[in-house]
A and B are shown apart, each in its own frame.
Chain A
Amino acid sequence: MGQIQLNQVTKSFGDTQVIPPLDLTIHDGEFTVFVGPSGCGKSTLLRLIAGLEDITSGHIDIDGTDATDVVPAKRGLAMVFQSYALYPHMSVRKNIAFPLRMAKMDQAEINKRVEGAASVLNLTDYLDRRPGQLSGGQRQRVAIGRAIVREPAAFLFDEPLSNLDAALRVGMRLEISEMHKRLETTMVYVTHDQVEAMTMADKIVVLHAGVIEQVGTPLELYRTPRNTFVAGFIGSPKMNLITGEEAAKHDAHTIGVRPEHIDVVESGGQWRGTVGVAEHLGSDTFFHIHNTGLAEMVTVRAIGDVSLKHGDTIHLTPRADEIHRFDAQGLRIA
């Protein structure tokens, strides 16, 4: 069981309020991702849930009981840190066993659980090594092992993959997702990488300057972003946000079209411009288009390898049913 509920939670450091009053419910078994640019308060929010920072006002309920003044050790949550935070003077076995030792668990049971976690995480051969003798990916596995052995009410992940190289990150992403499917435990995951958020989450919480901009499933955020911030943050490459005359044509202050929702056509087309940088990924090509007569540069995603070069003229048509409209406050117009 691991339902986490934040009620009117705020956090200030001195005179600076980093989290204005915030309400959020994380349901039992849900994989929730906090995503946002750096400095948006997502890590602080996670640390408030963990109890590593004291909240300034409001209260936090874990499993229906008020945990606001409960010390981290007693909240029944496990955390995986960005730096792994392994105990350098202990072997892998002792690292994983540490929370069980602190819980004064029976030695036979500790051994059983450590061996179990090690075999799931492919760490059996490394149990007697020190963290310093392991690779980054292995250290990350030890950190996860240390979290899962105690069978916590919820797992908290603080940017756990950002110290890994790109290939390893994709692999670990899958492993964590699979672990979630298998354990069905609540997980709260902090990242600045919207791809990680989109691929792993059941529910995404988009944060900006301590404020929740939107909460929803990955596809809800993709299809119906509540405001221009979410529209620009979710999706890669970024949504084109266009203001001015073109937006006025749609009765909006700003319109948004995703690069994948603009078709490249032979001639005619609604917009015409010159190709700037073309990024060829093989499976698709990203064109950055200038001189369209629009105030902003436009990014277009074409499927496959389209052979247009720098300086070529390109004709574009945005799909009418995929145009998002926003008002002067940046809020979505239904």
Chain B
Amino acid sequence: MARNVTTRRKIITTAAAWTIGLIIFFPIFWTILTSFKTEAQAINDPPLFFNFDWTLENYAIVQERSDYMKFLWNSVILAGGSTLLGILIAVPAAWSMAFVPSVRTKDILLWMLSTKMLPAVGVLYPISLIFVQFNLLDTRIGLMVVLMLINLPIIVWMLYTYFREIPGEILEAARMDGATLKEEILYVLTPMAIPGIASTLLLNFILAWNEAFWTLNLTAANAAPLTAFIASYSSPEGLFFAKLSAASTMAIAPILILGWFSQKQLVRGLTFGAVK
């Protein structure tokens, strides 16, 4: 039986959805707004909404004091590199678990996921020591590997879910048609899984971009990405709200734009398998 949806009910749910959406978006909106205020206006009481003197001086100062492009470039390399590295490892892993499962496959998947339940700080010491030992502190390659490792369980899980939706008979048909394992993965599995792989790439890129624990703890100057750029403007004293906001806006803008243009792909990726 179809549910009876009245107009009133529609209006209420729509209003509720918008309210929740706006509440969630408000901090980001406020950050962007504050970035165009002077430091004095930024802490004005009552808060100023639109009736202030719009200024770009925060952006100018931030740009002057620190090299935005260097941080941006590090973010791109770290997020992109860790994502590509992760996919290269995760595709064969997910393939074997989805198509040649053993009795322990479920356990392995859960075990991988369990690493995400551990607070990151719990392994700060061992990881830091390893980094010191191998001279990896403040290097892009070291951080890339760490970011890849912390997101690997999610990549494998997402790809596994995608691959599970692909009928095994199609891969068997490829085998019967004379395809080698490499050809099977390259010509049959991957093209069929492209939407899944794309949204996995995207989500992982965003996660790596926003990762702030390891990027802050393991970098100083050379490999520091945008998270470190923001952090350098947070200060216990002094008037830095407007500049901090400008730095934050500059750091989140690229990923916000990327997310905006790929939202369809992202939503599909996150809800995959939920509905047939």
* Residue of chain A at shortest CB distance from B175: A72
The interface stretch among B22-30, B178-186, B258-266 is: B178-186
Q: Is the CB of A102 within 8 A of B178?
A: yes
Encoded as 1 (CB less than 8 Å from any B CB) or 0, chain A from 198 to 220 comes to 00000000000000000000000
**Assembly CA distance A79 to B178 (angstroms):** 11
A85-B167, A98-B174 are known contacts; what are 19 more A-B pairs with Cβ within 8 Å? A50-B176, A52-B172, A52-B176, A72-B172, A73-B176, A74-B178, A78-B177, A81-B169, A82-B169, A83-B167, A85-B169, A85-B172, A87-B174, A89-B192, A98-B179, A98-B187, A99-B178, A103-B178, A146-B173
Write out, one digit per residue, whether chain A residues 313-324 have a CB within 8 A of any chain B CB (1) or not (0). Answer: 000000000000
A-B contact pairs, 19 of them (CB 8 A): A73-B180, A77-B176, A78-B177, A79-B172, A79-B173, A81-B172, A85-B169, A87-B174, A87-B188, A87-B192, A88-B170, A88-B192, A98-B177, A98-B187, A99-B177, A102-B177, A102-B183, A146-B173, A150-B178
A residues less than 8 Å from B174 (CB atoms): 87, 98
Interface positions of A from 70 to 124, Cβ below 8 Å from B: 71-74, 77-79, 81-83, 85-89, 98-99, 102-103
Q: Which of A134-172 contact B (CB under 8 A)?
A: 146, 150
B166 and chain A: residue at smallest CB distance: A88
* Number of chain A residues whose Cβ lies closer than 8 Å to a Cβ of chain B: 23
Known: A87-B188, A88-B192, A89-B191. A102 touches B179 (CB 8 A): yes
B→A interface (CB under 8 Å): 167, 169-170, 172-180, 183, 187-188, 191-192
Contact assessment for A87 and B175 in the assembled complex, using a CB-CB cutoff below 8 Å: no
Which of A72, A82, A87, A88 has a CB less than 8 Å from the CB of B176?
A72
CB distance from A146 to the nearest CB of B (A): 7
Q: Which residues of A contact B187 (CB under 8 A)?
A: 98
**Which chain A residues border B176 with CB–CB below 8 Å?**
50, 52, 72-73, 77-79
Are B177 and A146 touching (Cβ within 8 A)?
Answer: yes
Q: Which residue of A lies closest to B191 (CB)?
A: A89
| Chain A residue contacts of B175, Cβ below 8 A | 52, 71-73
Contact B179 A85 (CB under 8 A): no
Which residues does chain A contribute within 8 Å of B192, judged by CB atoms?
Answer: 87-89
